Amino acid sequence: MYNKSLKELSASLHRKEISSVELSHYFLDRIARFDGELNSVITINTDAALKAAEQADKLIASGDSGLLTGIPLLHKDIFCTEGLRTSCGSNMLDNFIAPYTATAVRKLEQAGAVTLGKANMDEFAMGSSNETSFYGAVKNPWDLSTVPGGSSGGSAAAVAARLAPLASGTDTGGSIRQPAAFCGITGIKPTYGRVSRYGMIAFASSLDQGGAMAKSAEDAAIMLQAMSGFDEKDSTSTDKPVGDLLSDIDGSVKGLTIGLPKEFFGEDLDEEIRIKIEEAVEAFKSAGANVKEISLPNINLSVPAYYVVAPAECSANLSRFDGVRFGHRCDSPKDLEDLYKRSRGEGFGDEVKRRIMMGAYVLSAGYYDAYYKKAQQIRRLIKQDFVEAFKEVDVIASATAPSVAFAAGEKKDDPVSMYLSDIFTIGVNLAGLPGMSVPCGFVDDKPVGMQLIGHYFEEARLLNVAHQYQQLTDWHLAVPSGYEQEA
């Protein structure tokens, strides 16, 4: 049961082989049994989940149901959920019960999905290892001594261990794709504006984008289809039609041109991972795709540009957390200044404080033009590089991360080394393009992810290419040792 595809689970529900209540109990039992060592779930939603499952069973019985009706899932704890704690992995919001539900969550619930709970994450989505969470680090089910990636590491670890068939994530600089690679699952970040950001607690508003994390590209397509669409409550939401993400998923890749950026195959990339990506590219060639080397001349500037833009935006967004209206409030403040200082000092962790201070610095008088404005100019150059590349190719392929999952604690005290974990993913966010990661093998018994990047609003093509690769390989079906058993 735990390794069935979403379509298979849906078919079992519609054939009455199992009820949504039973299926929800099944995955809640898996969470109870296995998550003690993974720490991938922050809050369990048992009572509300079972009520939603009962309603899903009624919809299935009435014939008014779809593929997601009755399917359990987890949400990254950055999405507001009415009546259920939304912590963002931070002490600042440890006591915050959201008064409304994020649009992406609401859309999935309207499609019949059952929310089992909220997944652990790096605090305020700031991290690449899921070690900055107030609730403790998440562990990678493939090797408990390694990190699952971040910031959506809880979602990735839970799907990898089959604690839920699906999980939502957010991606600001690689936070869906990098943990998907480290945990051996499929994760997709759509074009900026494709999924509503309403109710998704902001880190960097011009970069953040919600997406889907699942076992396979087909499962991710079904989830993303339900999440996507225009939302008048989000000024950054696009009204461009989503289309049917599944209609062409079985189409051939014959004649498609896949671009390989030479800048992504340099000395930053582990040699064994390079071999796995080259093997994946050979699989595409055997299916009739063409391969072409391309260049993204300014992509090596993406990390420094990102770590100016993102902290600048986070320093503005997180200023709302002041101990006054909601969130953590210090005890017995002497005055307003003391309230602000101690509430923020106690509520935020070290990485969040580091980025707030970086952001405040680059936006300060005398430094705005030298740093923030320059970073935005570089961002435009990176976007133009991608646009030019897509005049020659249909999809761009690379490694998702320069290494496999690294040891817990290895980079915690070296922020720059940690930031470089996202060296292949950040440019996609700066340009606002869709990108995804799919499993493509193992190095030292740890998963390797291949990144696929598409042109604006071409999520359907990306999912088609990923799905066709998964018809040729079975890496996405692998389950970590110890979790390949029924609860």
Residue from 90, 155, 175, 421 carrying the catalytic annotation: 175
- According to DSSP, the residues that pair with 128 across neighbouring strands are none
What confidence score (pLDDT) does residue 20 get? 98
Residues, the chain, total? 487
What confidence score (pLDDT) does residue 475 get? 97
Q: What is the pLDDT of residues 156-185, one digit of tens each?
A: 999 999 999 999 999 999 999 999 999 999
Contacts 24+ apart (CB under 8 A), 238-241: 238/191, 238/193, 238/194, 238/457, 240/193, 240/457
Mean local confidence (pLDDT), 110-115: 98
What confidence score (pLDDT) does residue 419 get? 85
Q: Which two tokens stand for residue 378?
A: 């570089």
What confidence score (pLDDT) does residue 486 get? 79
Are 161 and 442 spatial neighbours (Cβ–Cβ below 8 Å)?
no
By percentage, how much of the chain surpasses pLDDT 90? 94
Q: Please provide the average confidence, as pLDDT, over all residues in the chain.
A: 96
What confidence score (pLDDT) does residue 487 get? 64
Asked about 58 being catalytic, the answer comes back as no
The pLDDT confidence band at residue 306, using thresholds 50, 70 and 90, is very high
Distance CA 152, CA 138 (A): 10
Token pair 């935020």 in the structure block, residue:
348
Q: Which of 264, 252, 260, 199 is nearest to 227 (CA)?
A: 199
Asked about 175 being catalytic, the answer comes back as yes
Distance CA 249, CA 459 (A): 10
Q: Which of 31, 131, 36, 41 is nearest to 77 (CA)?
A: 41
Are 319 and 344 spatial neighbours (Cβ–Cβ below 8 Å)?
no
Mean local confidence (pLDDT), 354-371: 91
Residue from 76, 215, 411, 446 carrying the catalytic annotation: 76
Domains detected in the chain: 6-251+467-477 (3.90.1300.10)
Please give the distance of CA 213 from its chain centroid, rounded to a whole number: 7
Asked about 40 being catalytic, the answer comes back as no
Please give the distance of CA 231 from its chain centroid, rounded to a whole number: 20
**pLDDT for 365 beyond 90:** no
Residue from 151, 228, 237, 403 carrying the catalytic annotation: 151
Contacts 24+ apart (CB under 8 A), 263-266: 263/295, 263/296, 263/297, 263/299, 263/300, 264/296, 264/299, 264/398, 264/399, 264/424, 265/398
What confidence score (pLDDT) does residue 485 get? 80
Q: What is the DSSP letter of 326?
A: S
